[in-house]
């Protein structure tokens, strides 16, 4: 994978993933992260999908100096691939994935496609004295799903060893979780700001990470934003009712078949 | 130590492609060998009550491989057979596996009395990892299913599902596609209705292609000459779609390349995971089914018509 590497050492950073064209949550996340003292803001990719008018997120990311990497969606859109490479295997999931991919593809201008094509696949930074590695699905595969209930700790330990990292971050699943590993190492899935986490709350979430001398700590920050306004825009764009319901209720209505049993059971559908 | 296998150098005359173990993500346990309380007409390893070709795994053996699996970063554990619930140590095996990571059981669902299901629910509750129960039912009605699996099996497996659901578990109904693929959606609807009737309101269903080996080859037909994976077919093909690039299966004889080719002599790779870390040549015609459909054996692969 092609990584961007920065030797600059940070002490407090905000990281989010899964923007899914939710420009309202993106704006709110950037403001919130600044208020909470983030020195830099990073994005783990999947800029389009699901939400309305995908072109709106790019100027926001650029103006605010958000450092992004490329998700599977961004890769597909920028390269003009057939589908989003989301990794769904169920026919109904694929049906909705296709609707949203077609819409996003048709509504993303060439300029932003090219821009996404130039994003790195991963990024390394220093947080305190820790080596932090950002990925979309995982450092080994852009569309790997790392759910809490299907990711063993020994797997994460090996990932850190294999990729020379003390902290690994990922997104792609849309549900945040974190696990402390041996030697104060850490894995965190930062969740998504574009879509609620299937927990019955319309809030979305991002991660704040900091190093006060020792190990890196992480907190998942719930973020409330004007989700009703977003729902109105989605209606105006004639996006599927199912997607709008998720934005309003916080429950996933589609793409549930990919969920492992424990994550599925916590949801409504 | 586990590590990356270099891409194999192929002898010039070898026509079939060779697949390396890219990463050991899925570790399977053939816990019931080829012993099963049923004798399904389509069973690709011809399991039956009297098929003792492969025997049960004991707890100590499973424990040993679980221990080895950590250094390999194994992501998921699968328990299969035969019928896993015929192994009296299955529950402690699951408990130990779920201490490390997610576990899935491939069962015919006919050996799930209340007592067993209650224990499964307790084991599930005691772990943060997912316990998946894949219950095989091959037709949405007693008539269509029992023609393949045996009289009474539909009702017994549905009762098994009902008990699992009543205890808060969410089994995955797994069906071999024995119908015309054009009927997929119709059959899916029928399955959904049947599951709702036993109280499963968010049914999970997975459809699999049949593997034309064992009794299935006799029931329908075996593979034809053209159904073979060639090296040209692997060009531009994502090799990690094949289970043999990401998994291995442990039986009472050792470690094999995949659960599908259990009976083929060249599929037995060694006694340890270390020894089983070598490339495998796709010389079986069943590889053709994998090539067409991808990692059909894991929880999230499968086939089904687009909506
Ligand atoms: S298909 Fe499954 S249930 Fe049927 S005989 Fe084979 S192992 Fe047993
Ligand atoms: S049957 Fe499938 S998993 Fe097994 S060796 Fe052939 S391609 Fe690989
Ligand atoms: Fe993604």
Cβ–Cβ gap B74/A94 under 8 Å: no
Report the alpha-carbon distance of residue B185 to residue A122 in Å, rounded: 40
As beta bridge partners, residue A169 has: A134, A188
Select from B31, B34, B40 the residue to mutate for testing ligand 1; criterion: most ligand atoms less than 8 Å from CB: B40
Tell how strand A216-223 and strand B18-19 pair up: unpaired
Q: Is B138 helix (H, G, I), strand (E, B) or coil?
A: coil
3-state secondary structure chain A: CCEEEEEEEECEEEEECCCCCCHHHHHHHHHHHHHCCCCEEEECCCCCCCCCCHHHHHHHHHHCCCEECCCHHHHHHHHCCCCCCCCCCCHHHHHHHHHHHHHHHHHCCHHHHHHHHCCCCEEEEEECCEEEEECCCCCCCCCCCCCHHHCCHHHHHHHHHHCCCCEEEECCCCCCEEEECHHHCEEEECCCCCCCCCCCCCCEEEEEEEECCCCEEEEEEEECCCHHHHHHHHHHCCCCHHHHHHHHHCCCCCCCCCCCHHHHHHCCC
Q: State which ligand 2 atom lies nearest to the alpha carbon of B243.
A: 3
Spell out the domains of chain A, with CATH numbers in brackets: 8-265 (3.60.21.10)
Give SS3 for B174: strand
CATH number, position B244: 3.20.20.70
Q: Is residue B5 part of a domain?
A: no
Residues 6 or more apart in contact with residue A118 via CB below 8 angstroms: none
Residue B52 to chain A, least CA–CA distance (Å): 33
What would you report as the CA-atom Rg of chain A, rounded to the nearest whole angstrom? 17
Whether residue B113 is contained in a domain is answered as: yes
Is there an atom of ligand 2 within 6 Å of B153 CB? Answer: no
CB contact under 8 A, A154 and B23: no
Residues B248-252 have a mean pLDDT of: 98
Select from A140, A149, A264 the Cβ nearest to the Cβ of B129. A149
Q: Whose Cα sits closest to atom 7 in ligand 2?
A: B287
Answer yes or no: is B305 within a domain: no
Residue of A nearest to B172 (CA): A261
Q: Is residue B241 scored above 80 in pLDDT? A: yes
Q: Is the pLDDT of residue B33 over 70?
A: yes
Cβ(B289)–Cβ(B296) below 8 Å:
yes
In angstroms, the CA B209 to CA B275 distance is 30
Chain B residue numbers with beta carbons less than 8 Å from the beta carbon of A158 are: 71-73
Distance from CA of A201 to the nearest CA of B (A): 20
Q: E strands along chain B, which residues?
A: 18-19, 26-30, 76-80, 103-107, 131-136, 172-176, 204-208, 247-251, 254-256, 268-270, 280-281
Nearest-CA distance A128 → chain B (Å): 28
Q: Residues B56, B252: contact at Cβ < 8 Å?
A: yes
Mean pLDDT of all residues belonging to chain B: 92
d(CA A56, CA B69): 46
Q: Is residue B299 part of a domain?
A: no
Reply yes or no on whether the pLDDT at B306 is more than 90.
Answer: no
pLDDT, tens only, B91-149: 999 999 999 999 999 999 999 999 999 999 999 999 999 999 999 999 999 999 999 99
Query: Structural domain of residue B254, as residue ranges?
Result: 12-293
- Identify whether the C-beta of residue A124 lies closer than 8 Å to the C-beta of residue A131: yes
Q: Are A151 and A31 in contact (CB under 8 A)?
A: no
- How far is Cα B4 from Cα B277, in angstroms, rounded to an integer? 9
Could you give the number of structural domains in chain B? 1
C-beta atoms of A150 and B129 within 8 A:
yes
**Chain B: residues touching A (Cβ < 8 Å):** 23, 69-76, 100-102, 124, 128-132, 168-170, 184-185, 188, 202, 204, 299-302, 304-307
Q: Check residue B305 and give its pLDDT.
A: 44
**Residue B298 pLDDT level (bands cut at 50, 70, 90):** confident
Answer for the pair A201, A5: CB distance below 8 angstroms, yes or no: no
Cβ of B84 less than 6 Å from ligand 1: no
Largest CA distance in chain B: 58
Residue B133's pLDDT is what? Answer: 98
Q: Give pLDDT tens digits for B45-97.
A: 999 999 999 999 999 999 999 999 999 999 999 999 999 999 999 999 999 99
pLDDT at B304 over 80: no
DSSP three-state, residue B107: strand
Residues in contact with B98: Cβ distance below 8 Å, sequence separation at least 6, in sequence order: B123, B124, B126, B127, B129, B131
Task: Indicate the pTM of the whole model.
Answer: 0.95
User: Encoding tokens for residue A70?
Assistant: 């490329």
Cα–Cα distance for residue pair A258/B204, rounded to 1 Å = 10
- Chain B residues whose beta carbon lies within 8 Å of the beta carbon of residue A87: 300
Residue B51 has what DSSP assignment?
-
User: B182, A255, A228, A144: which is closest to A263 by C-alpha?
Assistant: A255
Q: How far apart are CA A77 and CA A48, in angstroms?
A: 9
Cβ atoms B285, B223 nearer than 8 A: yes
Closest CA of chain B from A237, distance in Å: 22
At residue B5, the pLDDT reads 58
Residues 6+ apart with CB under 8 A from B294: B241, B242, B301
- Whole-angstrom CA distances from A76 to A62, A101, A110, A126, B233 are 21, 9, 13, 29, 24
Would residue B182 count as lying in a domain? yes
Query: Measured from the CB, is residue B36 less than 6 Å from ligand 2?
Result: no
B127 φ, ψ to 5°? -125, 150
> Has residue B7 been placed in a domain?
no
pLDDT at B12: 45
Give B89's contacts (C-beta < 8 A, 6+ positions apart).
B31, B58, B59, B62
Handedness of CA B210, B266, B104, A144 (dihedral sign): negative
* Predicted-complex ipTM score: 0.95
Averaged pLDDT, B249-264? 96
pLDDT of residue A52: 97
Residue B300 has pLDDT above 90, yes or no: no
Helix (H) or strand (E) holding B122: helix B114-125
| Predicted confidence (pLDDT) at residue B190 exceeds the cutoff of 70 | yes
In tens digits, chain A (269 residues) has pLDDT values of 568 888 789 999 999 999 999 999 999 999 999 999 999 999 999 999 999 999 999 999 999 999 999 999 999 999 999 888 887 777 788 899 999 999 999 999 999 999 999 999 999 999 999 999 999 999 999 999 999 999 999 999 999 999 999 999 999 999 999 999 999 999 999 999 999 999 999 999 999 999 988 899 999 999 999 999 999 999 999 999 999 999 999 999 998 999 999 999 999 99
Work out the number of other CB atoms within 10 angstroms of the CB of residue A238. 9
Name the residue facing B302 among A89, A147, A149 (closest C-beta): A89
Ligand 3 center to B7 CA (angstroms)? 29
Going by C-alpha positions, the residue among B226, B155, B252, B146 that lies closest to residue B194 is B155
Q: Looking at the domain assignment, is residue B303 inside a domain?
A: no
In a domain, B155, yes or no: yes
Q: Are A193 and A204 in contact (CB under 8 A)?
A: yes
């Amino acid at each position: 994978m092609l990584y961007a590497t920065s030797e600059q050492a940070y002490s407090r950073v905000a990281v989010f993933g899964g923007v899914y064209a939710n420009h309202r949550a993106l704006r709110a996340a950037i403001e919130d992260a600044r208020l909470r003292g983030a020195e830099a803001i990073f994005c783990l990719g999947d800029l389009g999908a699901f939400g309305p008018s995908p072109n709106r997120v790019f100027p926001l990311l650029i103006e605010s100096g958000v450092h992004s990497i490329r998700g599977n969606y961004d890769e597909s859109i920028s390269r003009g691939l057939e589908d989003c490479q989301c990794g769904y295997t169920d026919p109904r999931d694929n049906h909705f994935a296709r609707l949203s991919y077609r819409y996003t593809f048709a509504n993303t201008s060439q300029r932003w496609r090219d821009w996404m094509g130039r994003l790195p696949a991963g990024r390394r930074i220093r947080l305190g004295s820790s080596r932090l590695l950002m990925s979309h699905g995982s450092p080994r595969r852009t569309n790997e799903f790392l759910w809490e209930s299907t990711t063993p700790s020994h797997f994460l330990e090996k990932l850190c060893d294999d990729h020379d990292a003390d902290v690994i971050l990922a997104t792609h699943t849309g549900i945040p979780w974190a696990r402390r590993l041996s030697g104060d190492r850490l894995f965190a899935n930062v969740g998504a700001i574009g879509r609620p986490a299937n927990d019955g709350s319309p809030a979305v979430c991002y991660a704040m990470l900091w190093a006060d001398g020792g190990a890196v700590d992480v907190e998942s920050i719930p973020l409330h934003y004007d989700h009703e306004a977003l729902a109105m825009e989605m209606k105006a764009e004639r996006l599927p009712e199912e997607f709008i319901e998720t934005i309003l209720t916080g429950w996933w209505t589609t793409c549930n078949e990919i969920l492992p049993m424990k994550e599925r059971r916590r949801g409504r559908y | 130590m586990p590590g990356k296998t270099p891409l194999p150098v192929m002898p010039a005359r070898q026509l079939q492609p060779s697949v390396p173990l890219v990463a050991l993500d899925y570790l399977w346990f053939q816990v019931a060998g080829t012993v099963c309380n049923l004798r399904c007409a389509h069973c690709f390893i011809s399991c039956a009550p009297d098929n003792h070709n492969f025997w049960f795994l004991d707890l100590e053996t499973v424990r040993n491989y679980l221990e080895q699996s950590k250094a390999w970063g194994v992501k998921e554990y699968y328990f299969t057979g035969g019928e896993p619930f015929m192994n009296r140590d299955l529950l402690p095996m699951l408990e130990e596996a779920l201490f490390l990571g997610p576990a899935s059981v491939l069962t015919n669902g006919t050996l799930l009395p209340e007592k067993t299901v209650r224990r499964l629910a307790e084991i599930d509750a005691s772990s943060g990892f997912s316990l998946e129960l894949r219950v095989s039912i091959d037709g949405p009605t007693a008539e269509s299913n029992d023609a393949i699996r045996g009289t009474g099996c539909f009702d017994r497996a549905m009762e098994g599902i009902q008990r699992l659901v009543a205890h808060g578990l969410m089994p995955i109904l797994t069906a071999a596609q024995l119908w015309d693929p054009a009927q997929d959606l119709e059959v899916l609807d029928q399955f959904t209705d049947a599951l709702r009737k036993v109280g499963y309101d968010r049914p999970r269903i997975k459809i699999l292609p049949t593997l034309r080996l064992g009794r299935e080859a006799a029931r329908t037909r075996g593979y034809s000459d053209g159904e073979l994976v060639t090296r040209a077919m692997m060009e531009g093909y994502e090799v990690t779609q094949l289970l043999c690039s990401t998994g291995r299966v442990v039986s009472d004889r050792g470690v094999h390349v995949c659960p599908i080719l259990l009976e083929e002599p060249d599929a037995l790779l060694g006694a340890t995971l270390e020894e089983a870390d070598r490339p495998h040549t796709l010389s079986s015609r069943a590889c053709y089914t994998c090539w067409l459909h991808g990692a059909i054996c894991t929880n999230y692969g499968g086939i089904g018509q687009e909506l």
